[in-house]
């Protein structure tokens, strides 16, 4: 990922794939905006679809219901989740001597999730072609071989894009906090673990309050 300063103007959504450091330097003084929220919403929707597949929600819900709920709850979860992650990473970074403002951290988490836009498109396309097996942990036994292959390729692409997104976020944290990639990776991992723990606690509380029905059906 080159740090050379090109003569062409910055195109964040395009350049972040291979030049994340330059993109996050350019975004340093930019306030959180609509693009950040759209990217956060896309991440939340993809996470919702992956959760639905893991819980085999296609066995109890139609594709239309899953996608509809994904576009209702996914953006909300994605945006709130990025605010939560931003708060966690800012606190962690301060303890390590970091000074990046909240907006910069939000940019890293949002624009670092650009690969999830591609993943979202893949989820929707495969769901349109394959149907409810897209959201089953184990596809229907009678599914055509080509559709099996399509599901496998889509999941492989999802995991690969998720890994690329993580790499972009680590590179971004390294850039804005002026630290090594190794320390940024440690920061990213610890932050993710803390956010996951907070999410589990919140889910337990919601289930205790009787809001568990909003979760994907197993």
Residue reference for tokens 């349109």: 128
pLDDT of residue 218: 39
Query: Which of 2-6, 76-80, 108-112, 193-197 comes out lowest in average pLDDT?
Result: 2-6
Angle, helices 63-95 vs 102-111, to 10°: value is 140
Residue 6 covered by a domain: no
Residue 170 covered by a domain: yes
pLDDT band at 217 (very low <50, low <70, confident <90, very high): very low
Residue 115 covered by a domain: yes
Could you read off the pLDDT of 57-106 as tens digits, one per residue? Answer: 888 888 999 999 999 999 999 999 999 999 999 998 888 777 888 999 99
Residue 4 covered by a domain: no
pTM of the model: 0.87
pLDDT of residue 8: 75
Q: For residue 135, how far is the Cα from the chain centroid?
A: 18
Residue 7 covered by a domain: no
The sign of the CA dihedral 94, 172, 38, 210 is negative
Structure tokens at 182: 């190794």
Residue 15 covered by a domain: no
Count the helix, strand and coil residues of the chain and give each as a percent rounded to the nearest 5.
Answer: 75, 0, 25
pLDDT of residue 206: 66
Residue 176 covered by a domain: yes
Which one, of 80, 86, 78, lies nearest residue 108 by Cα?
86
Q: Which residues span the domain enclosing 55?
A: 20-214
**How far is Cα 32 from Cα 26, in angstroms, rounded to an integer?**
13
User: What are the φ and ψ backbone dihedral angles of 213, each rounded to 5 degrees?
Assistant: -65, -15
**How far is Cα 215 from Cα 218, in angstroms, rounded to an integer?**
9
Residue 122 covered by a domain: yes
Q: For residue 112, how far is the Cα from the chain centroid?
A: 8
Q: For the chain, how many structural domains are there in total?
A: 1
**How far is Cα 62 from Cα 90, in angstroms, rounded to an integer?**
40
**How far is Cα 178 from Cα 174, in angstroms, rounded to an integer?**
6
């Amino acid at each position: 990922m080159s740090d050379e300063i090109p003569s062409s103007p910055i195109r964040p959504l395009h350049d972040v794939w291979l030049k994340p450091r330059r993109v996050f330097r350019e975004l340093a003084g930019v306030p959180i905006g609509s693009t950040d929220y759209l990217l956060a919403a896309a991440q939340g929707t993809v996470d919702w679809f992956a959760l639905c597949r893991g819980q085999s929600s296609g066995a109890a819900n139609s594709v239309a219901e899953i996608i509809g709920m994904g576009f209702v709850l996914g953006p909300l979860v994605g945006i709130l989740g990025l605010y939560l992650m931003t708060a966690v990473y800012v606190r962690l970074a301060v303890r390590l001597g970091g000074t990046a403002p909240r907006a910069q951290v939000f940019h890293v988490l949002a624009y670092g999730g650009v690969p999830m836009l591609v993943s979202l498109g893949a989820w929707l396309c495969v769901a349109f072609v394959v149907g409810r097996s897209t959201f089953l942990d184990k596809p229907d036994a009678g599914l055509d071989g080509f559709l099996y292959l399509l599901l496998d390729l889509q999941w492989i692409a999802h995991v690969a894009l998720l890994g690329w997104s993580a790499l972009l976020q680590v590179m971004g944290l390294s850039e804005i906090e002026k630290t090594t990639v190794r320390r940024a990776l440690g920061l990213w991992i610890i932050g993710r673990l803390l956010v996951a723990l907070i999410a589990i606690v919140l889910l337990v509380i919601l289930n205790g309050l009787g809001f568990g029905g909003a979760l994907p059906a197993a």
